[in-house]
Amino acid sequence: MSADRLSGAARLTALLLVVSTLSACGTATVVKPSGGRTAHTTPQTSVAKPGQTAVVRRGDTLYALARIHNITPRDLAAWNGLAEPYTIYPGQVLRLYPGGSTPGRAPTTVVTAPRPGGTTPTPAPAPTPSPTTAIKSNISWRWPADGAIVGRFVGADVTKQGVDIAGSSGQPVRATAPGVVVYSGAGLVGFGELIIIKHNDQWLSAYGHNRKRLVNEGQSVKAGEQIAEMGRTGTTRDMLHFEIRYNGKPVDPLLYLPPK
């Protein structure tokens, strides 16, 4: 699993480097054009926008958003604590200004846009670190599938941003909580047939490697509703790759799912 995901991430990174040269595309793992937004040249330095954010839409990539907002891709990734391959998801909120240093990711020179009257910008809040204890979510999470856990969350490893649940082909995959489907497709390399559900403005869940998707984008789903059939698309065995994300950042699903 880890080798396949890592090789998929490497192929995706190489592809996005090519695409970013030809059009406004980049380091998000969605490899579709970004909905007709105007192309921009790659900025050499960043113009920070204190207090401003951008919401990721389907088809957006980190390189495209960086160009649109006149920020270098490296800075945009660093300001939001994104590690390679810089995966972003529809509904994710990206900060367009630095909120403090990110370990191991030194930003390039930042040129802050001057404010009228020469007033000093208000310092941005420090980024929220990856939690090691559960953040209160007010969501009654439930298991998305039955089966043994064969892969666990490792925050520092981009190939282990969730849990892997083994099962059999065609086994039901269910929504872990009520929400709206914001992605249903196979455009994110390494995840196969993937579904992403937005539960509220802060919480997302993702379900990868399905054999068949049973829901469409924009569709509302209930907790426990079957959304897919388990499979092995993008991997070598029948299993579900399941992630929970808080403000776009992965958290350990086992901190939220009820004990088995």
Look up the CATH number of the domain holding residue 161.
Answer: 2.70.70.10
Which has the higher per-residue pLDDT, 49 or 123? 49
What mean pLDDT is reported for the chain?
75
Does the residue 135 lie in any domain? no
pLDDT digits (tens, 9 = 90+) for 247-259: 888 999 999 999 8
pLDDT at 242 over 70: yes
Does the residue 1 lie in any domain? no
Are 77 and 172 contained in the same domain? no
pLDDT at 86 over 80: no
Is 16 exposed, middle or buried (CB count within 10 Å of its CB: 0-12, 13-18, 19+)?
Answer: buried
pLDDT digits (tens, 9 = 90+) for 186-237: 887 788 999 999 999 899 999 999 999 999 999 999 999 999 999 999 899 9
Helix (H) or strand (E) holding 68: helix 62-68
Q: What confidence score (pLDDT) does residue 226 get?
A: 98
Does the residue 124 lie in any domain? no
Which has the higher per-residue pLDDT, 103 or 64? 64
Q: The domain that contains 60 carries what CATH number?
A: 3.10.350.10
Does the residue 128 lie in any domain? no
Average pLDDT value for residue range 112-132: 43
For the chain, how long is the longest CA-to-CA vector?
Answer: 65
**CB-based contact 161:201 (threshold 8 Å):** no
CA-nearest of 112, 92, 96, 114 to 201 is 92
**CB-based contact 96:52 (threshold 8 Å):** yes
Contacts of 100 (CB under 8 A, 6+ apart): 124, 125, 126, 127
Are 108 and 33 contained in the same domain? yes
Are 104 and 162 contained in the same domain? no
Are 154 and 251 contained in the same domain? yes
Are 251 and 160 contained in the same domain? yes
Average pLDDT value for residue range 14-31: 32
86: containing domain? 8-113
Does the residue 127 lie in any domain? no
For residues 26 and 13, give the distance between their C-alpha atoms in angstroms, rounded to a whole number.
8
Q: What confidence score (pLDDT) does residue 120 get?
A: 43
Which has the higher per-residue pLDDT, 205 or 6? 205
CA-nearest of 91, 36, 24, 96 to 61 is 24
Does the residue 194 lie in any domain? yes
- The number of domains in the chain is 2
Are 66 and 154 contained in the same domain? no
Does the residue 12 lie in any domain? yes
For residues 25 and 67, give the distance between their C-alpha atoms in angstroms, rounded to a whole number.
9
pTM: 0.57
CA-nearest of 126, 145, 147, 144 to 199 is 144
Does the residue 140 lie in any domain? no
